Amino acid sequence: MTKLQRDTVVRAALTLLNEVGLDGLTTRRLAERLGVQQPALYWHFKNKQALIAALAEAMMAENHDRSVPEPDEDWRAFLTANARSFRRSLLAYRDGARIHAGTRPSAPQMASVEAQIRLLHAQGFPPAEAASALLLISHYVVGSVLEQQTPLEATEGRTDGETASDETAPLLAAAMRALDESGPDASFEYGLTTIVEGLAQRRER
């Protein structure tokens, strides 16, 4: 029997993820999809968490095309392009934000993060503040996508989920209509612009 390749497992897991979501992605189901016994998966991944980390890495490698700054690129332009690219990568797969949440840069990603910090440091950020700025952007992107990818039915039935009406909360009702009409892209861009502008003001102090 041909040895099961690591990339084959990852690709199958990503396909299955889109079909059943993170909660439905089990090693048993993945083994069935690949036509192998579960122990065959442990050759590459000792547990589901290790598999999830590999999926997060694969998602970034496949879709995140703005992780490395251009030479002498303005830091504002890079952070904006980087955040947009990161968001697209998470949205490309079902539960992408949940897959990525809590992971740390893997060895292949270290050079990209180093280049990002070097860019910010060269344009006025101390290394620790540069790292904090990158974390802030990362957390914002993951949180934003997590909200977008959470099914509406998951929030239905909550006691705090009453819909605002023009009679009880006219300003809130109008605001929610405007936000619904503009969509998640506009909301994301508003938050991203606010963060980048805030970092610029902090840098100039």
Q: Which residues contact 190 (CB under 8 A, 6 or more apart)?
A: none
140 compared with 167, residue with greater pLDDT: 140
d(CA 195, CA 106): 26
* The pLDDT of residue 17 is above 70: yes
Tens-place pLDDT, residues 56-75: 999 999 999 999 999 889 99
Give CA torsion, residues 130, 131, 136, 142, to 10 deg. 130
Q: Which residues contact 20 (CB under 8 A, 6 or more apart)?
A: 29
Count CA within 13 A, CB hemisphere, residue 201. Answer: 6
Share of the chain above pLDDT 70, in %: 92
What average pLDDT does the segment 136-144 reach?
97
